Chains A and B, each alone.
Chain A
């Protein structure tokens, strides 16, 4: 997207370089030290006094405040990161509190808290080492301070639960008493810090309760949408429904005459906002603006035209990038005793976070602030600065817990727009809330895609060749072209299909293999949607493998096992779900079973499903067994919560959801046409946590990829008919 690139260029001129902000790929900052004092003065943190290293602030009453750089959007990272710090700190878990350092402070303090981006299931795995070292460093400083005070060697000083003791003289001190002295000591070199073996963890690794629950039960939790500032006005906004269109005209008079309306403002070239005393007034007035759009060529695009366009990619030789290749798949399949082929379709999906996009912004000529729920506070800061026309050092971002993120709030379009509105009304805080309809129209959609799977079997039913041609838009090409490979390849297209690498390695060894991507970009803005391309990739591969196994006359599990000899970790999770569901024994009467495995975000995951297909073709998912090997588990009950949540998200999409395009715009605008999985359809889930240690995998996303194919394979076992198009509501199912 050119706008994104333009942002990057302009900001770097201000000594602020952004790389892949949209994805949370991290900001490389040339520091703007001039703003340091100012940023500190604005600090909402107690950054002076009892700050023991970067991550720990200890109050005189022994309360330990752990700094959390990543965002909490429900995934539990806030609690998990605090556990990791507390583990090394050896403090009393009951006294642990948390706070978000602001992105402005992070900038002013030389990125003391590192990357703030929260996506790609990286929250824990990418920061675990330095936050644990932060906890350990603070512990060392506190012990040293106590030893200094007692004039004894630090080696004689012990700590447990935040209480420091010296056995020989029977003295004790709590952390709160020595924090001020400890804060003045030098922070130990992180290379000199040895971390605990996870086997000896006492706080981490345990199912501690979340630290952020209580306020979520009483209405006290303030989300960004709830922020209230003195003198604040409220705005509702409408951006061009046809992506790429511009505002041609609108009728202001009627809207202005409506109660509470204060301003009608154009936002960039593409949107109009009404600012009123209340949001409801603003939204009512927005509806009478009669906005006319300059739509251009995109207004002809439809789901059908996109499908046709993607179909051309199936046989194309241009704009095709290879993800994984072994031997000569084409030849092997051509010469095989038995050939199979299937073409799959996967629709656009919307994040539909429960809290619609919103942001409060306040702009003056020399300062701009935003109050926002963001998956990447630093990207919010960059967006704020860019839209405000101010250096980042004169901007600040106040982060709120997200009412859902799922990838959507890694993009900062809603922050930008709020600032562009606020800039036209200097000095007045403006809260811009997107209506649900606006939120659904202006998504960053999980890309549509089609995929042709082909396979060849020899006369003994062995797989001799496998080919996978994906024809789909590229996310990176749209949102972070700098992250494309040198030849233009989008590596993210191949999630879970890679020949090697810690993120997502294909779990099968096939003698002849070709996985490639015909990049076919549409005008619909794509985005990272929980699990991203793993979702489709796993469905396509795992469902097709069941068809191939059937053609080979083999059991789906046995067929897979034979290909997985070189992939023991993939196999272990698959075996675990197969054992638990009773694979190999007859399923309960009327039920059929399916399995699937995949690797995503550094974790190995598998699922087994039992479904009932009624005579009328209705599917009931009776049981799901999920397994994950994420290396290390920081909070088992929260990992289970993530597994369950990912199932709801993935299965909701598979069963009911699709965003269709008509006249160049998204058709589905609310939950009536984009239905969610509800309680009654949510299956019973048994989760197996099988951390094998030695690596750190992600948790929020990986399991999303296997729930859908396991269920689809269970349905296939009942129908004998491959399912080639989703969502399932569009497919007529009939028992074989």
Chain B
């Protein structure tokens, strides 16, 4: 039995110590907003925050998570889905299929926390999640929107 702090709630879970946090979240706790894409830390679909830092949960074994670690998933990012990143995503209609987007949003939220006014270069460096649908230009624009940036790149090239 392991104890986790997920989205501010204490959760008791029964899983082998080598079970990745991703699968504990999805299968034991029932938080399916965190997605499985690759299982090898390549795609970012499984992104969560642990103690405020962005982490790819598919590659974090349960045994390495302490009961005191604060885990935040997409379901806990904001109470009403109104985190500035979520609002910007909504305003710019970012998602296509949407499968990668919860991970993208977690990555963008972490970026804005460390760099409230990111440049395009910051975004290139920080946003390494895969979007197979190719929503990258809207993700970029939405990050600028969420940051309140008004640079030309923030406006993107939308018609």
Asked if B96 and A219 make an inter-chain contact with CB atoms under 8 angstroms apart, the answer reads: no
Residue of B nearest to A675 (CB): B42
Residue of B nearest to A672 (CB): B42
Residue of B nearest to A79 (CB): B93
Residue of B nearest to A647 (CB): B134
Q: Does B31 contact A (CB under 8 A)?
A: yes
Asked if A671 and B42 make an inter-chain contact with CB atoms under 8 angstroms apart, the answer reads: yes
Q: Mark B113-152, 1 if CB is under 8 A from A, else 0.
A: 0000000000111011111111111111000000000000
Q: Which of B99, B136, B157 has the most CB of A within 10 A?
A: B99
Asked if A217 and B89 make an inter-chain contact with CB atoms under 8 angstroms apart, the answer reads: yes
Residues of B within 8 A of A641 (CB): 93, 96, 135, 138
Q: Which of A226, A278, A354, A682 has the most CB of B within 10 A?
A: A354
Q: Mark A205-249, 1 if CB is under 8 A from B, else 0.
A: 001011011111111111101101000001000000000000000
Asked if B89 and A685 make an inter-chain contact with CB atoms under 8 angstroms apart, the answer reads: no
- Count of chain A to chain B residue pairs whose CB atoms are closer than 8 Å in the complex: 192
Asked if A676 and B130 make an inter-chain contact with CB atoms under 8 angstroms apart, the answer reads: yes
Partner of A404, one of B30, B133, B139: B133
Task: Kindly provide the distance from the CB of A354 to the nearest chain B CB, expressed in whole angstroms.
Answer: 4
A685-B140 Cα distance, complex, nearest whole Å: 13
Residue of A nearest to B62 (CB): A280
A627-B159 Cα distance, complex, nearest whole Å: 13
Residues of A within 8 A of B19 (CB): 280
Asked if B159 and A637 make an inter-chain contact with CB atoms under 8 angstroms apart, the answer reads: yes
Residues of A within 8 A of B96 (CB): 74-76, 641, 645
Number of A interface residues at 8 Å Cβ cutoff, please give it.
68
A217-B129 Cα distance, complex, nearest whole Å: 15
Number of B interface residues at 8 Å Cβ cutoff, please give it.
61
A48-B4 Cα distance, complex, nearest whole Å: 47
A221-B86 Cα distance, complex, nearest whole Å: 14
Task: Kindly provide the distance from the CB of A240 to the nearest chain B CB, expressed in whole angstroms.
Answer: 21
Q: Does A678 contact B (CB under 8 A)?
A: yes
Q: Does A433 contact B (CB under 8 A)?
A: yes
Residues of A within 8 A of B28 (CB): 278
Task: Kindly provide the distance from the CB of A207 to the nearest chain B CB, expressed in whole angstroms.
Answer: 8
Asked if A679 and B30 make an inter-chain contact with CB atoms under 8 angstroms apart, the answer reads: no
A662-B135 Cα distance, complex, nearest whole Å: 33
Asked if A404 and B33 make an inter-chain contact with CB atoms under 8 angstroms apart, the answer reads: no
Asked if A649 and B132 make an inter-chain contact with CB atoms under 8 angstroms apart, the answer reads: yes
Asked if A684 and B38 make an inter-chain contact with CB atoms under 8 angstroms apart, the answer reads: no
Partner of A259, one of B16, B20, B40, B74: B16
A584-B105 Cα distance, complex, nearest whole Å: 42
Q: Does A144 contact B (CB under 8 A)?
A: no
A404-B129 Cα distance, complex, nearest whole Å: 15
For chain A, residues 271 to 298, give those with C-beta under 8 angstroms from any C-beta of chain B: 278-281, 284
Given known A637-B159, A682-B137, contact A216–B95 (CB-CB < 8 A): yes
Residue of B nearest to A636 (CB): B159
Residues of A within 8 A of B128 (CB): 678-680
Given known A641-B93, A678-B130, A679-B139, contact A212–B20 (CB-CB < 8 A): no
Q: Which of A73, A216, A221 has the most CB of B within 10 A?
A: A216
Asked if B93 and A210 make an inter-chain contact with CB atoms under 8 angstroms apart, the answer reads: yes
Task: Enumerate chain B interface residues (CB-CB to A < 8 A).
Answer: 15-16, 19-20, 23, 26-28, 30-40, 42-43, 45, 73-75, 77, 81, 86, 89-90, 93-102, 105, 123-125, 127-140, 157-159
Task: Enumerate chain A interface residues (CB-CB to B < 8 A).
Answer: 73-76, 207, 209-210, 212-223, 225-226, 228, 234, 259, 278-281, 284, 352-356, 401-406, 433, 435-436, 636-638, 640-641, 644-649, 670-672, 676-680, 682, 684-687, 689
Ordered by A's residue number, 8 sampled pairs between the chains whose C-beta atoms are within 8 Å are A213-B95, A223-B99, A354-B37, A401-B98, A636-B159, A637-B159, A679-B139, A682-B134
